[in-house]
Homo-oligomer: A and B are copies of this chain.
């Protein structure tokens, strides 16, 4: 019989911890501490209480918790003295079935790791539905983490412990994250398509209108149809658009799906107009399905699959809402194949610039040619522009792509604003000279000037608290060990939650650059390559996300989005608000290590469903 929250909430305080035996390896104090927070409305709330108990226990207790764990495929496994839970987990990961070479490699890693950190290596080896890490991945992760900084690695060990506890709790409570697992599966299956055949390592490259990209669009169309969307089409820029009609429209319309699609494409919501009633509005949502080169599986796609799962649930339950749901899988956001970015969401706000059609990719193929080859009807692009009157607004779910939630141990956050940003390409020119013979005071060192700027930028952005400043590209072209750099090239990426805060940051950084170069006798060029205004969340939509997160039993964490998203484009015509989902591995993104969990995706689906319910009550 699975455990219930009711049992947890009502057991005498002295007995309750025993109900959670084995969740935190040999460390009953974690449950004892968390249970002082009873009652728990949701399993997510209990999990959060457990995380907090560990967070507040201090470093010594945390180290004791880590050290209470067995080594991976270590002596305890060999001597069969593992806990039942650990035995089962190491078994399932195939660790009890290592080749002698694998075993020797793991023993060496165990020894090195222990010598470096003073605690055993801990990795949540089980994923959802048997998708746990394979032995080889475990060994790779082990080797990678061995290089981490000790403080960081301690936090990483704790995060893995919490993930192990989450999986054990799900089992104890018989609460598999069914919707989260299905969303996980969609990500896995879509990740089979990649431009460069690295999909098996999770290294995805899906750029605009390549073969893999078009296969993704076909796959998404198919899944949308299977999920019960009434109308599904690939539009003139390659967006996959699925519409789930509102209650009255679906009921009033008996025409075939194909006829409805054709009518819709040509007449907007004319099908509704024909009934005489004012046409019901739609909630617009979605995200992009293209990736950066060698990117991850979740960036963008999570924002397609979460609403798809919600629509599938509505469809399975035979339910419709007073408004329609339009999920758009945007064809392009990352700007990888062509310089233009946000092609997909840009087209919906009328921002598709026909001049882009003549841009060439690395192989000289124009965007026009690529679109024609894909069978897209370029002439139709202007008609993709949406009329704001047809929509309630826009919401988007996205992985955080940052470390904040991962570090806090929280699965969800509500976005307050998409940050304003400016980018610059800069170069400083000084005088290359002999590193041995040029006295320090007579140098015109371009790299030293860039270094001074970088140190300043870091302090200046930190001072704001929520601004960020990055010198992501930095190089001394053709530098030699014994030559004082005569030239240094670098980029600036400056972001802040508001335009004025961003502008002040940019002004200070550029003034500092000027001051440094004046003082050092250097020339510089700083060319702005990009500027984007901030996109503050709509108060009402943001409040819906907040209410949904609170209903899950989780604290509402509000944060700005440092990354740009399709919501930033749609912001030009519609109110918008976003939900962030925690990324694993310190929130790494644009990287094959990008990851999240089925549990967190489950919570995202639940939150999205709740927002739909709130909107249904608001727009009856």
Contacts and interface: CB of A to CB of B under 8 A. Distances in A.
Contacts of A458: 440, 445, 448
A358 B390 CA distance: 77
Interface string A480-519: 1111110010010101000000000000000000000000
A468 interface: yes
Contacts of A401: 434, 436-437
Contacts of A442: 402-404, 407
Contact of A436 (B147, B151, B419, B473): B419
Nearest to A520: B149
A468 B561 contact: no
Interface stretch (A131-139, A538-546, A584-592): A584-592
A523 interface: yes
A151 B441 CA distance: 14
How many copies of the polypeptide does the oligomer hold? 2
B402 A439 contact: yes
A251 B374 CA distance: 95
A479 interface: yes
A46 to B, nearest CB: 27
Nearest to A421: B436
A433 interface: yes
Contact of A472 (B152, B421, B455, B479): B479
Contacts of A561: 436-437
A409 B474 CA distance: 37
A358 to B, nearest CB: 24
Nearest to A436: B562
A454 B403 CA distance: 28
> Which 3 residue pairs of A and B lie closest in terms of their CB atoms, listed nearest first?
A402-B437, A436-B562, A149-B521
Given A152-B521, A401-B437, A440-B458, 16 more contacts: A149-B521, A402-B433, A402-B437, A407-B442, A432-B591, A435-B493, A435-B495, A436-B493, A436-B495, A436-B562, A438-B562, A445-B458, A448-B458, A470-B482, A472-B484, A473-B476
28 contacts: A403-B439, A404-B437, A407-B442, A419-B436, A421-B436, A423-B482, A425-B481, A432-B588, A433-B587, A435-B470, A435-B493, A435-B562, A436-B561, A436-B564, A437-B563, A438-B468, A439-B562, A440-B462, A451-B455, A452-B455, A470-B481, A471-B485, A472-B485, A473-B476, A473-B481, A474-B485, A475-B475, A481-B491
